[in-house]
Copies of this chain bind each other. A is one copy, B any other.
Amino acid sequence: MSASPSPIRTRQPREKRLADILAAARAVFRERGYDDTSITEIAQRAGLVEGSIYRFFDSKRELLLRVVELWYEEVLADYDRQLAGVRGLWNRLRFMIWHHLKSIHENPELVSIFFRQIRISPDYLNSPVHELNRRYTRHVLEIVESGIASGELWRELPLVIVRDLIYGCIEHHTWRYVSGVGNFDPEATADMITDVVYRSFANHSAESAGLARLEATMMRLEESVARLNGRLDGGA
């Protein structure tokens, strides 16, 4: 009886719609969490109708997985790009820890969903998201291995525990924030965790951790000076 507002059937290329839906879904999931989000809401936000979502995704869960996957890919791309420019073992370690903290800090809602809905489910281990996670955490191992090879790190450090130490510590430290309580400072936390973790990994018998930090400091100094030179060059 009421004027059915039958929306104009706009026709969009598949790619565009996909992007719209994923963007809408990410937004709504962040606002409401997974369970409290209805397909209808996502559809409305994306400018189409409930059923149309199902032309792109077989289920609400599949949509969630794609959202998280995309987010992970973004994080990972950013991570890879920046890590390449970081020199020195301590700095690289610190960068990785800081980057993870920053990702959590920026998207606590997605992290929360990841923990509650995805990592916990049995099919996670075969999912693309898990593969991304492996790639994400693999760098740590590479760095640690090279550190061991160079003698900077403890020769007998059990590699199976390295990831757990770093990511476990980070996640445990941030879960309150992820649960919506409190806050944390990625910078300061990164310093703290890096220090502690580095102590654990370092080859104390050969060189002190202090030397390593010294090295890091020198590199920062080097960069500062280089930047200074650059400015003076540009300004000349």
**Chain A positions near chain B (C-beta within 8 angstroms):** 3, 14-15, 112, 115-116, 119-122, 124-125, 154, 157-158, 160-161, 163-165, 167-173, 175-176, 179-181, 192-193, 195-197, 199-202, 204-215, 217-222, 224-229, 231-232, 235-236
Which residues on the B side are within 8 Å of A164 (C-beta)? 168-170, 172-173
CA distance A206 to B164 in the complex (A): 27
Q: Apart from A168-B169, A207-B209, what 19 extra A-B contacts exist at CB < 8 Å?
A: A112-B120, A120-B175, A121-B179, A158-B196, A160-B173, A161-B192, A164-B168, A164-B169, A164-B173, A168-B171, A171-B172, A196-B200, A197-B200, A199-B199, A204-B206, A221-B222, A221-B225, A228-B232, A235-B236
State A205–B207 Cα separation when bound (angstroms): 10
Please list 30 pairs of residues, one from A and one from B, whose beta carbons are closer than 8 Å in the complex, sorted by A's number: A112-B120, A120-B175, A122-B179, A122-B180, A125-B176, A125-B181, A157-B196, A158-B192, A161-B192, A164-B168, A164-B169, A165-B169, A165-B197, A167-B168, A168-B170, A171-B171, A171-B172, A196-B200, A199-B201, A199-B204, A207-B208, A210-B214, A214-B218, A217-B219, A221-B222, A224-B225, A224-B226, A224-B229, A228-B229, A235-B236
> Out of B196, B201, B208, B225, which one reaches A208, CB within 8 Å?
B208
When distances are taken between beta carbons in the complex, the residues of chain B under 8 Å from A167 are 168, 172
Rank and list the top 9 A-B pairs by shortest CB-CB distance, nearest first: A168-B172, A168-B168, A200-B200, A210-B211, A207-B208, A164-B172, A164-B173, A168-B169, A204-B204
Among B122, B157, B168, B204, the residue within 8 A (CB) of A173 is B168
Give the number of times this chain occurs in the complex, counting copies: 4
Complex CA distance for A205 and B208, rounded to whole angstroms: 9
Residue of B163, B202, B224 near A222 (CB, 8 A) is B224
| A187 nearest CB across to chain B (Å) | 14
Report B-chain residues with C-beta under 8 Å of the C-beta of A201. Answer: 199
- A155 shortest CB reach to chain B, Å: 12
CB <8 Å contact, A227 and B227: no
B-chain residues with CB within 8 Å of residue A171 when the two chains form the complex: 168, 171-172
Residue of B nearest to A192 (CB): B158
Contacting residue for A232 out of B116, B204, B225, B231, CB 8 A: B231
CB distance from A66 to the nearest CB of B (A): 10
